Each structure stands twice: as C-alpha cells, then as structure tokens.
Amino acid sequence: MPWFTQSAPEISRAEVEVLIERALDEAKRRICKDPKRVLLLPPDITRMHSGSGWITESFYNLLSSSAEVHVIPTLGQHEPHTREQNAQMFGKIPHERIHPHDWRGGCTHIGEVPADYVKEKTGGAADWAFPLWLNTMLMKEKWDLIINIGHVVPHEVLGFANHNKNYFIGLAGKDLICTSHMAAASCGIENNLGNLLTPVRQCFNYAEEKYLGHLPDFYVQVVLARNPNGHLVHTGVFVGDDLETYLGAARQAREQNIATFDEPLQKVVCVMQGDEFFSTWVANKAVYRTRMAIADGGELLILAPGLKRFGEQADVDALIRKYGYCGTPAVMEQYKKNADMQDLAHGTAHLIHGSSEGRFKITYAPGHLEKSDIEQVKFGYANLEEQLLKYPIGQLKEGFNEVNGEQIYFIPTPSAGLWATKDRLFNRQTGFGAG
C-alpha cells in the first residue's frame, strides 16, 4: 500500500510542499533515520510543466543542510540539460550537483528480463530478453535514500509514465532502451496508451522486484488536470515504495487525463511548447496522444516553435531523416535488412509510433526547420507564423473552437493527456495491459 495519498480538485503549491515534508518524514522513519547521501531522480525538462522541477528543489532544500544531495535527471536517451536548463528546471540547486545520464557509456549491467518472460507478457509479439543496464552512479555508489519524482500521465510505451520508468528507461543503457521500445512498438502503440499494466510495464515490474529490492528508494508521483480556468494544476500526490503507489496514481490519471469522444475529430491543432520540445522525438507526443481520436482522412496540425531537429542524438536524427515516419509495414521491412535500424532499435520503434499509418495527415509548423526537412521525414509542412496568425493560440480554449468558419479541436498541452474515441479506447482487441 502507498505510504499516503492526497487527491483534490486542486492542490496548491503550498499544500504540495507540506506533502513533500511529510514524505521526507515518512522516509526517515521507514528507510533511513539520518540520511547522509541522497539521490533525487526527477524527470527531464520535457516534463517541466508537471512541477517536478520545483518539487525536486524543495527536497534538495530540506535535505542539503544535513546531507550530500545529488540529482540525476532521468533523461533516457534525451539530450542532457544545459546549465541554463538546469536552472530553469531545478531553480537554485547547484549545477555541479546535477549529473547528466550517459545512456551509452555510463551504465552497469545488473541482469536481464528473460526472453521467455518477455514473450509471455507480450503474447509472442516480442521474444527477446531485456538486458538490464542501469546508471552506474545509481547502482555502484552508496545511497542512504533515493527519491523518485515524477508525473503519472498516459504514455505510449508503458501505458502511463513514471514509477519504475525512471529506472528502466530514464536511467537505462542503450540495449535496454532499444529492446524495450521495440517490444512496445511490436505490441502496438494504441494497445499501450492508457493501460495500467502494459507488457513492457510488467517486464519492468519483474526487473524492479528481482534486481532493485535492495535500493533505499521510494516514489513521489503527481497527477495533474485542468481546472475550470483551463490551467494545469496538481490533483493528486501519491507517495510510497510499492506497485500500488503507481496503480493508484495511474487510475486517477486514467479518470482525469483521458478525454473520450463518440465521434472522431476531423481537425486537431496542438501546441508543443518552445521551451520544452526541440525534437520530433519528444514533440511527437502530439501524435501519440491524439491518434486514437482523429478521423480517417483527418488532420493533426502541430505548432512547434522550438522544433530544430528530429532525434535527440545525432545518429538517431540521421536515422529519422533517412527512413522517415513511413508506417509499420515499411519500417519493419527495412528493419529486417538494415543494420543501422537494428543497432538503433529504439529509433526504429519511434518511427512506428510517430506514423499515422496513412490514416490521417500530420502537419508540422516548426520554428527552426525547413519545408524540405519536414517533408523528408514524410510529414506535411506549414509555416509557423502563418499558422499562429490563423490559429491565435492565446485566444483559443482547450476543446472545440470555430476559427474563420473551420471547426477545430485545440489542445494546448498534448503531453499532459490522451484523447480517444470511445470505440478505439474501449474496444481494443488485444488482451495486453489488464487493469
């Protein structure tokens, strides 16, 4: 059971800070009375809107006078933060106490999720092992207390983000990121989104129980929703060290963060914030989170003022440019015969996740990429300035809007939820993701 939870229509920052103090008191009672070395594991800047950055800073401030406190943003293979981004995300935590995760050279092998277990949980869609490579600083250094901080929200690989995703993607090595992402893609993104226990999540639960039971850790998970004024606010705080802590948060997120429709949407307009989303690797959350709501023949327009690349790494960027978001059959055919796709299997999985499979049109209006760049990866292009004049985002409300006689559905923060028709959400044919 969780140590404690709090849910309300709106939980203020001051109230969250009281819960942070309570969480720390519980940790000192349950894990370590007087921690001297503490590790904080928050998400990266792509989840800045969740408040996880100032929550991390609050923990740091409470602990730093009596303990040596370090922070590792759970980047996965995302680009490491700059000094300025660390300050933007984590306030006054000293830059030298914030350590970039190195997914290629900074990990230690601790075991594996066996191929038979993966095959069982994926229903045969994936039949390979997950080699467990995790951050060396996490696994090799001595910690008195480890605090995982994050936002539980619908997610394309794990059904919902956070909990042990912080370890097995956020602090994972290349082989684990590649095998798990490819397994998720093999199961189908629309079978993962909004399910509490996806196949890959079940594999991670196995790995946590078998290999991480010795860690002195716990989770602080938040749920957010929009208040009547349209602002994202905290509505849930879940603190504990077990699976139920995640499940409780995910159930609340399922209730609050999934919008359902009787009929599919013809035109969806999304904004991917310019200070958070710089690549399609992360900006494609607009595709992931709306795809189950968009009509066949419909259109998704993504306004992305910060967009300047496709992959978070140079080799993944090159992979995306080379093959493009060309749909599952074409990607899988290329995957069988191209070593670069096999080597960067997480990138291959991303190409599958980011395609509409020809069902609807995806149009990007980027801040820093040319028409030829966007069309090279098989997306449509629109001029950002023109689209911002046509769709004045400061005047639009989340939901249905009529703009110059055109009806659109506007989503200002697609990374904070999931949108789906009732038919696509509730009539999935797979048995994956029970619960």
Using CA atoms, how far apart are residues 109 and 93, in angstroms rounded to an integer?
30
With CA atoms as reference, report the closest residue to 352 among 238, 174, 184: 184
Using CA atoms, how far apart are residues 429 and 198, in angstroms rounded to an integer?
14
How many C-beta neighbours within 10 Å does residue 407 have?
11
Q: Torsions phi, psi of 67, nearest 5?
A: -140, 155
Q: Which domains does the chain have, with CATH numbers?
A: 4-258 (3.40.50.11440), 262-427 (3.90.226.30)
Residues in Cβ contact with 217 at an 8 Å cutoff, skipping those fewer than 6 apart? 31, 145, 146, 147, 148, 241
Degrees to nearest 5, angle at CA 398 with 397 and 402? 60
Using CA atoms, how far apart are residues 377 and 323, in angstroms rounded to an integer?
7
Structure tokens at 58: 């609050």
How many C-beta neighbours within 10 Å does residue 406 have?
12
Using CA atoms, how far apart are residues 146 and 135, in angstroms rounded to an integer?
13
The helix (run of H) or strand (run of E) holding residue 365 is: strand 361-366
The helix (run of H) or strand (run of E) holding residue 420 is: strand 418-421
Structure tokens at 262: 């009787």
What ranges make up the beta strands (E) of 248-329?
258-261, 265-271, 294-304
With CA atoms as reference, report the closest residue to 217 among 26, 64, 66: 26
**Sequential pLDDT tens for the chain (435 residues):** 999 999 999 999 999 999 999 999 999 999 999 999 999 999 998 888 899 999 999 999 999 999 999 999 999 988 899 999 999 999 999 999 999 999 999 999 999 999 999 999 999 999 999 999 999 999 999 999 999 999 999 998 999 999 999 999 999 999 999 999 999 999 999 999 999 999 999 999 999 999 999 999 999 999 999 999 889 999 999 999 999 999 999 999 999 999 999 999 999 999 999 988 999 999 999 999 999 999 999 999 999 999 999 999 899 999 999 999 999 999 999 999 999 999 999 999 999 999 999 999 999 999 999 999 999 999 999 999 999 999 999 999 999 999 999 999 999 999 989 999 999 998 875 544 333
Q: How far apart are the first and last CA of the chain?
A: 17
Structure tokens at 142: 């001595």
> Residue 339 half-sphere exposure, CB side, CA atoms within 13 Å?
0
How many C-beta neighbours within 10 Å does residue 66 have?
11
Burial 290-328 (b: 16+ CB within 10 A, else e): bbbbbbeebbbbbbbbbbebbbbbeebbebbeebbbbbb
Structure tokens at 263: 């009929």
Using CA atoms, how far apart are residues 420 and 288, in angstroms rounded to an integer?
11
Q: What SS3 class is residue 59?
A: helix
Q: What 8-state DSSP symbol labels residue 299?
A: E
User: For residue 39, what are the β-bridge partners?
Assistant: 70, 146
How many C-beta neighbours within 10 Å does residue 435 have?
12
